[in-house]
Structure 1
Amino acid sequence: MEKIIVLGIGNLLMMDDGIGIYLVQELAEKEQGSPIEYIVGESDIDYCLEQLEGASFVIIIDAVRSGKDPGEITVYSLGNLHENNTLDISPHNLHLFQMLYHQREEIKGYLIGIEPYEIQFQIGLSENLEIKRNKIFQKVRDSINALVYKI
């Protein structure tokens, strides 16, 4: 059986930058018994890489600045991030995406990016994303299901 991991990355001290962590925590709680392993990686890249060892399929959830409306979701193939020069969309996790790109033959996967509204020192999501949180959660959950059942 394939090892499937959903990894939430970001920083809870930087408002919307923590959206990936909040979503993975909620998914882990609501999807108990799922064959998918939900991991909070925060911004510790070495820890994230260690947790991904042995995985065959990875979905990373992170705040991604792509110029869309706050709360919008974009799905990127990890194998194409480097080719499309989109590796700078999440600069604090650049090393993680580079490492996964180099392992693209062994690890397949996607980045689910959520457009942030505000990133600054403060705990908790911006009011803008907090209002949309349930809708964002459902879209992310649906995206994960669609991607996992594609493999």
Structure 2
Amino acid sequence: MVKLVAIGNRFMKDDAIAIKAAEALEDRLICQDIQVIIGETDFQSCFYLLDKDDFVFILDALSSGAEPGSVHMFRLEDVMSQPSSFTMHHDLSMVELMKLYGSQFKGYLLGIEIFEIGFGQELSTALREKLPFICRIIECEIKKIIAEEITYA
């Protein structure tokens, strides 16, 4: 099964970008047989909802210094084999939990570049204005990856 897991904190401004994008895309992804899991900060429960044969998309905010709203894609196998070169705003990320348990999930980490992290329930203006564009990029990339990499029996 294909699963998208959205991680973030709704009360830390742009850290919620993955949640907002997943919620905006949820109906469209479900129509494509993609299970959407809104994990918020409870990535540990999300981890236990994954089966070893799942193809997983992890959607999270990240800070690498790139243009706010840009979407970065990394193969999970590459991310798992290297130390993190970007910052996620959680004490322990879902990727770190996968490393800890030696999980070998197939899939991708899709990181959305943040503009501002701080207390607040709204995205920064920079990301709020780009949300439709961010969603289009995410949906197009997911469709492309599914078409190229996943074969159904």
* TM norm. shorter chain > 0.5: yes
By how many angstroms is 1:87 displaced? 6.1
Q: State the partner residue of 1:79.
A: 77
Runs of 4+ in 1 over 3 A off after TM superposition: none
Q: State the partner residue of 1:139.
A: 137
Percent identity among equivalent residues? 30
1:115 equivalent to 2:116? Answer: no
- Counterparts in 2 of 1:56 and 1:32: CA distance versus 1, 3 Å: closer
Match of 2:66 among 62, 65, 68: 68
Q: RMSD of the TM alignment (CA)?
A: 1.7
By how many angstroms is 1:149 displaced? 1.6
Q: State the partner residue of 2:9.
A: 11
What is the distance in 1 between the residues matched to 2:49 and 2:85? 21
Q: 2:108 corresponds to which letter in structure 1?
A: Y
TM-score with structure 1 length normalisation?
Answer: 0.88
What SS is found at the alignment partner of 2:31?
coil
Contact 1:81 1:87 in 2 (8 A): no
By how many angstroms is 1:55 displaced? 4.5
Match of 2:36 among 35, 38, 49: 38
Any unmatched runs of 5+ in structure 1? none
By how many angstroms is 1:34 displaced? 2.1
Contact 2:29 2:35 in 1 (8 A): no
By how many angstroms is 1:93 displaced? 6.2
What SS is found at the alignment partner of 1:150?
helix
Q: How many residues align?
A: 147
- Counterparts in 2 of 1:132 and 1:4: CA distance versus 1, 3 Å: same
Any unmatched runs of 5+ in structure 2? none
Question: Is 44-53 or 82-91 further displaced after alignment?
Answer: 82-91
TM-score with structure 2 length normalisation?
Answer: 0.87
